Amino acid sequence: MPTAARCRRSMPGEVIVAETPLLQVEGLEVRYGAIEALKGVSLEVRQGEVVTIIGGNGAGKSTLMKTISGLEPAAAGRVLFEGRDITRLPGHLRVPLGIAQSPEGRQVFPDQTIRDNLLLGAYHRNAGAAELEADLKLQFETFPRLQERQRQMAGTISGGEQQMLAIARALMSRPKLLLLDEPSLGLAPLVVRKIFGVIRDLKARGVTILLVEQMANQALAVAERGYVIETGRITLQGRGADLRRDPKVRAAYLGEH
Amino acid sequence: MVAILQAVLSGLALGGVYALVALGFNITHSTTKTFNFGQGEFLVAGAFVAVSGLLLLAGKGITDPLNPDDVTLLRYAGSMVISMVVLGLLGVLLYYTAVRPFVGQAGLAWVMSTIGFGIIIQNVALAVWGPSAVVMPSPLGNDVIRVFGAGILPQEIMVLVASIAVMLCIDVVMRKTKIGKAVRAVAQSMDAATLMGINVSAIVVLAFVVSSSLAGLAGLLIAPITTASVYMGLTLALKAFSAAIVGGLNNPRGCMLGGFLLGLLEALVGLWHAELREISIFMLIILVLALKPEGLLGQRQVEKV
Ligand SMILES: Nc1ncnc2c1ncn2[C@@H]1O[C@H](COP(=O)(O)OP(=O)(O)OP(=O)(O)O)[C@@H](O)[C@H]1O
Ligand SMILES: [Mg+2]
């Protein structure tokens, strides 16, 4: 198995780190019957980065996230994680490798308690009770609302709280890569601000994040790099700040004409 | 008064059997939105495998006549294990041949394929054990026990106790254990469950194993009461299915409640006019469907976005 990072000494006293990106997507194609949802998408996410993907409705963002998590099969192309080809690996085996996702629409388990939802996030770990308690405590520090309501059914809390839960649940797997699919979807502006606050905190803690968003402005502000996806193709990519200033991006995604 | 008490006890025993099979429908339906339309034949297989298991344990051939003194409590328990294991394996076979190829497909291919699988089982049973009913003696004998003057068969008490115990176990497992919570997660959303690292295919196979073993258990429990016949499956499965509809196919407790309700209704109406038993069941179904289409304890299906 390839190692995640290789170091080589090129000149005396200087260390050049040639790092394999955490996630590499190469020429990915995904179809739903006759619909080609992804038509050759390539991107990469490096260790410690926050990368965002912006694009309109039906551009293929969720399809990309699902394929990275192994929920949709790739028709062509590859997905590499830590240099390892996982294109054909079943979804449930990708979680132990370190890929967690907070899916579009949150998808919390409504008939189970918040606490049980969080514990399901740690399902694959076979961790002892003490370790799980410690991890729960960590999540509750980030999301105090969840602690107050831990015995409540997840279906009974607000959309914003459900989104917090979906993120915390994903973090319970101790991921190396956190996939967030439209965490701001359908939330009030104040709650959206909170969610982006959480994403900033996670970034400060060094969590590697791939963030799909329609709120392009906020997403590009928090991300180091961004990709613009349109009808299944990456049409633009660059540093978050640069994309934010790009006239095409401004016109199409930041509501300016 | 005594007659009513007697009917209530017999009705509950029969209801326990319906409830077991109905719970089996719930378990596979909640995870895959499919169930085994040949569940009645699985129940038959459960009864006959148990008969053969008893004979084997008594050191006889699997199709020899079964005598009351072949059936001890210990052997009955042994044959229960045999029957549930064999049926569980049949459940795996059913899933891979008759369900999995069609899961998630539009249309009702799985309905036909599970019916077909049941017919194959029935014909195999016919070939092995023949068309005549087999009397399976109860390990507890046939001396009627008096409860407040009402006569009840020991086997009926055993059916009631065993079915309630098994259902309580399943209820606790589903609510309290990690695997039970994973099953409920799969029932909610296969994709979300996969994102938790849950092996959804394994859980689905498990659902068919449990559902089929429950049918096997039901067959073994009811055989000493009604005699085991290759043809008893359809009626029992239909009633169990009615129980699931009445109680709520998507709620395990609803399915159990429905089973007991139907058993009671059948026994009580039978006391009054035996020929009205079936009619009363279907009247109950129509009434429940009119007032609460999702069943007594069923949750209204929320459209998923
Ligand atoms: N299960 C499916 N079956 C068929 N077509 C699908 C399916 N899921 C998505 N599609 C189609 O694939 C394309 C990409 O959809 P996708 O959900 O990936 O877009 P998206 O960028 O996430 O959009 P949104 O911003 O609305 O979430 C769309 O044309 C969509 O209609
Ligand atoms: Mg989407």
Which pLDDT tens digit goes with each residue over A107-141? 999 999 999 999 999 999 988 999 999 999 999 99
pLDDT-derived band at B14 (thresholds 50, 70, 90) equals very high
Complete domains list, chain A, with CATH: 19-98+175-253 (3.40.50.300), 106-161 (no CATH)
User: Chain B closest CA to A190's CA: distance in Å?
Assistant: 24
Q: Which domain holds residue B35?
A: 2-291
> Where would I find the beta strands (DSSP E) of chain B?
145-147, 150-152
Question: Residue B106: its pLDDT value, please?
Answer: 77
d(Cα A92, Cα B249) in Å, to the nearest integer? 28
Whether residue B192 lies within 8 A of chain A, CB to CB, comes out as yes
B52 contacts: CB under 8 Å, gap ≥ 6: B62, B63, B129
Residue owning tokens 């009864």? B47
Mean pLDDT of chain B: 92
Question: Residue A105: its pLDDT value, please?
Answer: 96
Q: Report the number of distinct structural domains present in chain B.
A: 1
Give the least confident one: B38-42, B117-121, B221-225, B274-278.
B274-278
- Does the residue B285 lie in any domain? yes
User: Chain B closest CA to A172's CA: distance in Å?
Assistant: 9
- Does the residue B297 lie in any domain? no
User: Chain B closest CA to A219's CA: distance in Å?
Assistant: 23
- Using a CB-CB distance cutoff of 8 angstroms, which residues of chain B are in contact with residue A72? none
B50: exposed, middle or buried (Cβ count in 10 Å: 0-12, 13-18, 19+): buried
Atom of ligand 1 nearest to the CA of A33: 4
- Does the residue B11 lie in any domain? yes
d(Cα B217, Cα B86) in Å, to the nearest integer? 11
Question: Residue A76: its pLDDT value, please?
Answer: 98
| A61 in contact with ligand 1, CB cutoff 6 A | yes
- Does the residue B158 lie in any domain? yes
**Residue B143's domain is classified under what CATH number?**
1.10.3470
Q: Name the nearest CA neighbour of A143 among A202, A79, A210.
A: A202
Atom of ligand 1 nearest to the CA of A62: 22
Higher-confidence residue: B70 or B211?
B211
Contact A123 B197 (CB under 8 A): yes
Question: Residue A12: its pLDDT value, please?
Answer: 54
Which pLDDT tens digit goes with each residue over B191-219? 999 999 999 999 999 999 999 999 999 99
pLDDT-derived band at B2 (thresholds 50, 70, 90) equals confident
d(Cα A105, Cα A181) in Å, to the nearest integer? 8
Instruction: Please tell me the pTM assigned to this model.
Output: 0.90
Q: Name the nearest CA neighbour of B45 among B9, B14, B21.
A: B21
- Does the residue B296 lie in any domain? no
Which residues are close to ligand 2, an ion, with C-beta < 5 A? Answer: A 61-62, 104
Which amino acid is present at A63? Answer: T
pLDDT-derived band at B305 (thresholds 50, 70, 90) equals very low
Q: Are B14 and B255 in contact (CB under 8 A)?
A: no
- Using a CB-CB distance cutoff of 8 angstroms, which residues of chain B are in contact with residue A68? none
| A63 in contact with ligand 1, CB cutoff 6 A | yes
